[in-house]
Structure 1
């Protein structure tokens, strides 16, 4: 929990600095790159979290991976975090940065699980509903197909969930029959 708070604070500071330098979009792309690299190479996160690995080695690894590919503010930020002995939260800081960036820009991710692949019409309708209900500027839809749903879909945005699946409706009906309500 304390590490998440620290990561969030570091992310907020980096956003503020990015805005000062008019480099918010570029640094956002750098954070996306860091998240992608760590996702593809979990060993990097293990090295960053390992207290036995010397700070100069961690800095050298990050320099080797990112110098010339990221903004100089990002490079300096990586070095600062590592030299403060906080390299363990670098990955969480990047994720917190992206979450804060999305909140600033009004970007919302909608996870949609459906029985079949969504049509363009369904996608547009879900996007319009989420924009209206949540007040988002941009909706990123992440689709997942689950053939056990029979039909319909489950929409999840943040901590809210709307279940319009046939399987859910059948389960509700089954419970009502079991309780003798119907």
Structure 2
């Protein structure tokens, strides 16, 4: 929990700095690069979280990977976090920054799970559902395929879930029958 609060504070400070300097989009791109790199390379995350690897070596790895690929302002957060010996929260800072960025820009993130790949028409219908539910006109829709749903969909909007899957309906029917 302490890591989560610390990641939020660092991400908030970085967003405030980016807003002040007018470089929000650049910093968002940089933090997305960090998050994507961490998601694709579990070894990097393990290295950053390892108590055995020195902070100097962790910073050297970060410098080699990101120094030429991110802005100086974004890289400064890497330096600050490394100097504070908190490298293990860098990935969380990047994810938290994305969340704060979405709030700042008025973007609603939603996830839809279906039994098949969604086409553009259906994607737009899901986005309209999210807009109707939240009032936010900009929607970032993450799509997943799960054939275990049998049919239908599950739409996750923040902490709200709309389960219109066949599997969900069967489970609700089972619960109702077991209560009777």
**TM-score normalized by structure 2?**
0.90
How far did 1:35 drift?
A: 0.8
1:117 aligns with 2:117: yes
* Mapped contact 1:7–1:92 kept (Cα < 8 A): yes
How far did 1:96 drift?
A: 0.7
Q: 1:37 aligns to what SS in structure 2?
A: helix
Q: CA RMSD for the aligned pairs?
A: 1.8
1:69 aligns with 2:69: yes
How far did 1:55 drift?
A: 2.2
Q: 1:104 — aligned with what?
A: 104
Distance 1:120 1:84, change over 3 A: same
Q: Distance in 1 between matches of 2:45 and 2:80?
A: 17
- CA displacement, residues 49-87 of structure 1 (integer Å, 9 cap, x when unaligned): 223322222221111101121000011211111011111
Q: 1:58 — aligned with what?
A: 58
Further displaced range: 98-107 or 9-18: 98-107
Q: Distance in 2 between matches of 1:112 and 1:48?
A: 32
- CA displacement, residues 95-140 of structure 1 (integer Å, 9 cap, x when unaligned): 1111111111122222112233333322211111211211223212
Q: 1:29 — aligned with what?
A: 29
* Mapped contact 1:27–1:71 kept (Cα < 8 A): yes
Gaps of 5+ in 1: none
**TM-score normalized by structure 1?**
0.89
Q: Distance in 1 between matches of 2:107 and 2:91?
A: 21
How far did 1:174 drift?
A: 4.6
Q: Distance in 2 between matches of 1:176 and 1:39?
A: 40
Gaps of 5+ in 2: none
**Count of residue pairs the alignment pairs up:** 180
Q: Distance in 2 between matches of 1:100 and 1:173?
A: 39
* Mapped contact 1:105–1:137 kept (Cα < 8 A): no
The structure number with the bigger radius of gyration is 1
Q: 1:4 aligns to what SS in structure 2?
A: helix
